[in-house]
Amino acid sequence: MSEIQVNKLSPQSGTTITLGDSGDTFTIPSGATITNSGTATGFGEANTPSFGVRLSSNQSVANQTVTKLALATEDWDTDSAWNTSNYNFTVPSGQAGKYYFTGHYRLLSTYGHDSTNYFYQAIIRLNNSTVAEERVYDFSATTKEAYVGVSKILNLAVGDVVDFHAYQNGGQQANRDIDSNSAMTWFQGFKVAS
């Protein structure tokens, strides 16, 4: 092995220096520090696939029924992995790994309440099984909106399917509407690591 000792490398012509060829590996020894004072590109995770979706219009949720949110409007979808008809994310070929998901919804105060105990849930499901949920209780007899969110990191295989659900249990046993405002109701996810 040869060793070159210099204090500075500069291009002979132009403004670019290329180190090695495609397939080469550069090893940084333990204890060494890389300092960047310029612009770094091509480092770290790309965090794709990633997506962000929301409701196209308000959605009615029946009382005491787990309801998949009809998130048909995409803000972005890097790998076309969100299905706007079935409202779910499917891990694409070659993209198994750990993913972060987060969702939030606003339940509108369309109906009054009585003093019956009731609650609301935001639910992330993996292959039709609940893997994360957040529950908010409301014991009052007043008319209120509800804000519910949930997050989860999942270790996924190719073909795994993830979606977002809502549940509401109200004293009047009535349907309630989920707000389609993009700041209030949304579901997002991205790949964290392989």
At 81, list the tokens. Answer: 């992995």
Handedness of CA 96, 166, 53, 41 (dihedral sign): negative
At 14, list the tokens. Answer: 């132009």
Residue 55 lies in a domain: yes
- Torsion angle defined by CA atoms of residues 183, 184, 185 and 191, in that order, rounded to the nearest 10 degrees: 60
Residue 153 lies in a domain: yes
At 96, list the tokens. Answer: 């198994």
Domain CATH for 142:
2.60.120.40
Give the pLDDT of residue 114. 46
Residue 4 lies in a domain: no
Pure H helices in the chain = none
C-alpha 189/C-alpha 97 separation (Å) is 13
Residue 78 lies in a domain: yes
Please state the domain count of the chain: 1
CA-to-CA separations, 2 to 5, 22, 86, in angstroms, rounded: 10, 20, 59
At 56, list the tokens. Answer: 């196209």
* Partners of 50 in the β-ladder: 190
What are the tens digits of pLDDT across the range 4-62?
A: 888 888 888 878 888 888 888 878 888 888 877 776 666 667 899 999 999 999 999 99
% of the chain with per-residue pLDDT over 90 = 57
